[in-house]
Structure 1
Amino acid sequence: MGYKVVVVGATGNVGREMLNILAERAFPVDEIAALASRRSLGTEVSFGDKTLKTQDLATFDFTGWDMALFAVGSEATKEYAPKAASQGCVVIDNSSLYRYDPDVPLIVPEVNADAIVGYTKKNIIANPNCSTAQMVVALKPLHDRARIKRVVVSTYQSVSGSGKDAIDELWDQTKAHYNPTDDYQRKVYPKDIAFNVIPHIDVFLDDGSTKEEWKMVAETKKIVDPSIKLTATCVRVPVFVGHSEAINIEFEEFLDEDEARDILREAPGLMVIDKREDGGYVTPKECVGDFATFISRIRQDSTIENGLNLWCVSDNLRKGAALNAVQIAEVLGQKCLQKG
């Protein structure tokens, strides 16, 4: 017996990916509804070999539906997620709205699946930020072995993290570089993204960090361990899909790079490709469409007593958003909403 599932924001990049992944992973669906704003009403989206027409989020009745995967912004989530939750439908939210609410579990299934039982307080489960999700999958098994004291991470985040308009902006700017007669206007980013990098994601905070950097700190503490100290620099790069991270980790105990490599190879959700030769690592282009988070360049950091460096790459529309949400739905079904 399957579940009645709603995908909210089904016409967006993440919503479409949620539908794709639900089908790919053969999630037990008895009935599925694709919701969007009124302006997208009737738009067709794919679910496996089926075609769904989007329904109006504003008038949808969530009563009798088991779970709703939300892939809309915080404003729409603020209006409609409590409505769905109050009508008995468990919300799995991809926005940032509920991530820091102490009554809402923030879940990465490979890391803290057991925390999902806390969903009953509000009938809502939060999906973490894309840059956090892939990182904590790598940090958790190492933390279990040697206790992480401090993390220094620099991210190289693709434009798809900013939505379809950002993808179009990179494409238009790239074309204009080779054909100066092509006209384009910057709409998404404050500076050109084509052939450039922008050390600025989300709004600036009073301490000089950006909100994206703050999210990585706060979410890592909530998901893995509040005692971990973390500092981040988040950078937007001219890549369409796939986030990369250079991660420096300081442990309480010594952890040899070979043992770390073995631990990561055995950890769920990870794929280690780490050959010390030309091309013996994974780039963001190579991870697109894959479920795994890839780890490369594992090596000792000789500048501190117990340090390691590694390179972490993942498809941000998958593990960073849609895949993690579907995995949460799988855990919810297995642990909390068993049927049959």
Structure 2
Amino acid sequence: MRTPSKVLYVPLRPPKPEAKRSVAFRRNDDYAVWDERGLTIRHGDRTRTSLLDDLPVSPRLFSHEQILRTVEMVNSGERSKNAAGLSGAIRIGRDAYFLVRWEDSKRRPWMEALVRVPLSGKALWPEVVGKFEGMSLAYKPIDDRLIPLGEDIAVVTRKPGAWGVATFNPKSKQFDFHGMGDDLLSYMSTGRKSAVYVEKTAFGPLQAGQVDLGTGQRSPVFEARANVRFLDTEHPLFVVSSTPGSARVHNVETGAEWSIPPNSGIARAGANLLVWTPADAPKTATLYRTDRWGVVARWGEKGEALGVGR
């Protein structure tokens, strides 16, 4: 998109964010670091690094029957006792907390455990705190899913038939779970305690909405028996719904809806929205205003501008 004062480029495929290589907490000569080697605890000249292979068979986390089942799956190659990634980390006072994740041979998460590293202590072993109810949505080698919520450490988790906010209170040492909905399909943070979500409801349709984790208040904004997703987390928020033969864009703030060609790509272009077709190899593109969906400009199959609006 070119104007007399600037040129704006919109990639057909958004670039992937650079992967985080490590998470580190420090207090004087005491360190707690997670990287590709696992969890490293250092006190002065004393250092220990571990992938926490003892936790999947820890009686503090699992029953005897569960441990036996895990051993069988480890021996068969279905699971590994070594941690595969970090779902989140947070510092509370002089303590560093790490939510560590284990995955099976198909890269599916099967276990998460919360451990604590006192940055004022001398032990080279982390303290096993416990498990949140459900599993987080983390998937990156080093993810960032833990957040402070009042006096609690919180994470959005899902389990069969429900999703919500799982919490741990460092003072009372208690875990809790506050249900939010049914089958969570996607979740994106829009702030420290706010997010947008898409879930499959118990009565069938997909529902898109906003949630305030601090108050627990959910605000559904769109519902359809179609594929539903938020375009991104910028404002105004847009929901894109699609079926094999149609697609629509829904403005969350105004409630307005517009049809777009199926198999289209769509992205934000400054204060406007750009829609191109086909998504992988565009032959046409239209630039729309977001306030009243007016056409700003069009581009045709031969690459020429077909018209410019105001």
Same fold (TM over 0.5): no
Larger strand share, 1 or 2: 2
With the length of structure 2 as denominator, give the TM-score of the two structures: 0.29
With the length of structure 1 as denominator, give the TM-score of the two structures: 0.27
Larger helix share, 1 or 2: 1
